[in-house]
Structure 1
Amino acid sequence: MTTKPLVLTDELHQYVIAHGSSPDPVARDLIEETLALLPEKAGMQVAPEQAGFLTFLARLTGARQALEVGTFTGMSSLAIARGLAPDGHLTCLDISAEFTSVARRYWARAGVEDRIDLRIGPAAESLRMLPDEPYLDFVFIDADKPGYPVYWAETVPRVRTGGLIVVDNVLRGGRVLDPTAEADRAIATFNEEVLRDDRVDLVMLPVADGLTLARKR
């Protein structure tokens, strides 16, 4: 019995992927194309086990109305869309038409493009244009780190009671313990603010670069 997570070697990580999160051909090709086209930015793509977890969570919550803040080349949105209820709808917010053009091709290939609405522009502005009432079942936040407090502030009131918010990169490779870079300081501050937010129940998980799961009370 252990009281803390295992340190994943490359071999153990591949074992984890093979036994529950192994990408299908569409996701595998998306991973490979992202690495080939954008080698210096490919780390922005969610890990295969995160993608599987997002699909699982979307299905578990029976999500019909979902939101993603930060889409990149589409790995996480592909995962979420696949987990939505048959009449589900996912709104994706991103600032890059270039990166999301890759996403559009893979959404089409996976047959989920009809349930995704991509909106290009600053995420804060796009969020303020969404309906004000609490209608969202599922939210995934994975965009510019200094923007997290704004995205959180705009998102929580729009999530229904019992809805789920998933926030990525909350550990910043462990640098939240001693943050010096702007993005690391922003996440460390954000984590403390979220911890004090009495509108949600929280759990932080050491999945990939850290995920916070928040259930709206």
Structure 2
Amino acid sequence: MPQQTWTVVDDYFDGLLVEEDAALTAATADTLAAGLPAHQVAPNQGKLLHLLARIRGARTILEIGTLGGYSTIWLARALPEGGRLVTLEADERCADVSTANIARAGLTDVVDIRRGKAADLLPGLADGEPFDLVFIDADKPSNPVYLEWALKLTRPGSIIIGDNVVRDGAVVDGDSTDPRVQGVRRFTELIAEHPRLSATALQTVGSKGYDGFVMALVTS
């Protein structure tokens, strides 16, 4: 009953507040058709990312984990003229599907898809302009590494968002043998300890089940 209720409520608000066009619905369909993991953000979560980027006035966005490009499209559409988004994807199938989806959305000139392991690609971004927003949605055991690089690649006022941190509530289990849970726990602990970050975490329920995200502001 709870999952059914969460999904119906999501559908209600999405119908009123979230406008998915053909490019977004096709991105979802192509992601599923390609057999990619059903891990993309829900429509209302995509809209939230879009609004956060606009509220921040982001001109540069870094996404770690592209999947089929659904969240990429939401974020890229928040950019002003001349803005850019760099997204990192290790899986070649995901990179191929996202490339097609981003092209269909007319965002090829805005989005730079880089293929390979994020830990290997992130050092190559160090000489560029700092990012105003970083969205971390990739392999959870590597989240501490991604946070370290996010701090190097941002500036005061930047936002860092880590997705899927609740893990159906497993995040509270310090004895968990799941490396994804331990990666999320260490990621959150590092955020809490870092003097340059002010953060919070929110639990979410909806069509994607029970999870949540961490959001941190780079303060100095």
Please tell me the residue identity of whatever aligns with 1:11: V
Tell me the residue number matched to 1:190. 187
Query: Distance in 1 between the 2:53 and 2:187 partners?
Result: 24
Query: Distance in 2 between the 1:23 and 1:207 partners?
Result: 21
Please tell me the residue identity of whatever aligns with 1:212: V
Tell me the residue number matched to 2:61. 66
1:212 aligns with 2:207: no
How far does residue 66 in structure 1 lie from its aligned partner after superposition?
1.0
- Secondary structure of the structure 2 residue equivalent to 1:9: helix
Residues 153 and 132 (structure 1), Cα distance of their counterparts in 2 relative to 1, 3 Å cut: farther
1:129 aligns with 2:106: no
The answer to whether the 8 A contact 2:91-2:115 is kept is: yes
- Secondary structure of the structure 1 residue equivalent to 2:204: coil
Tell me the residue number matched to 1:107. 102
Query: Distance in 2 between the 1:181 and 1:170 partners?
Result: 13
How far does residue 134 in structure 1 lie from its aligned partner after superposition?
6.7
The answer to whether the 8 A contact 1:133-1:157 is kept is: no
- Secondary structure of the structure 2 residue equivalent to 1:204: strand
Query: Distance in 2 between the 1:210 and 1:200 partners?
Result: 19
How far does residue 207 in structure 1 lie from its aligned partner after superposition?
3.4
- Of 10-19 and 45-54, more deviation after overlay is shown by 10-19
The answer to whether the 8 A contact 1:134-1:160 is kept is: no
Which structure has more RCO (C-alpha within 8 Å, separation ≥ 6)? Answer: 2
Where do 5+ consecutive residues of structure 2 fail to align?
Answer: 206-210
Please tell me the residue identity of whatever aligns with 1:149: P
Map 1:145-156 to 2 at 5 A.
Answer: 145-156=140-151
- Secondary structure of the structure 1 residue equivalent to 2:28: helix
Identify which of 155, 169, 177 aligns with 2:172: 177
The answer to whether the 8 A contact 2:65-2:136 is kept is: yes
Identify which of 85, 89, 93 aligns with 1:98: 93
- Secondary structure of the structure 2 residue equivalent to 1:111: coil
Query: Distance in 2 between the 1:10 and 1:35 partners?
Result: 18
- Secondary structure of the structure 2 residue equivalent to 1:124: helix
Please tell me the residue identity of whatever aligns with 1:213: M
How far does residue 16 in structure 1 lie from its aligned partner after superposition?
2.2
Tell me the residue number matched to 1:18. 15
Residues 58 and 8 (structure 1), Cα distance of their counterparts in 2 relative to 1, 3 Å cut: farther
How far does residue 138 in structure 1 lie from its aligned partner after superposition?
0.9
- Secondary structure of the structure 2 residue equivalent to 1:143: coil
The answer to whether the 8 A contact 1:202-1:214 is kept is: yes
Query: Distance in 2 between the 1:50 and 1:203 partners?
Result: 17
Residues 28-86 of structure 1: per-residue CA shift (max 9 Å, x gap): 121122223216x11x2111111111111111111111111110110111111001111
Query: Distance in 2 between the 1:8 and 1:114 partners?
Result: 40
The answer to whether the 8 A contact 1:73-1:100 is kept is: yes
Query: Distance in 1 between the 2:188 and 2:169 partners?
Result: 13
- Secondary structure of the structure 1 residue equivalent to 2:109: helix
How far does residue 100 in structure 1 lie from its aligned partner after superposition?
1.6
Query: Distance in 1 between the 2:124 and 2:116 partners?
Result: 11
- Secondary structure of the structure 1 residue equivalent to 2:125: coil
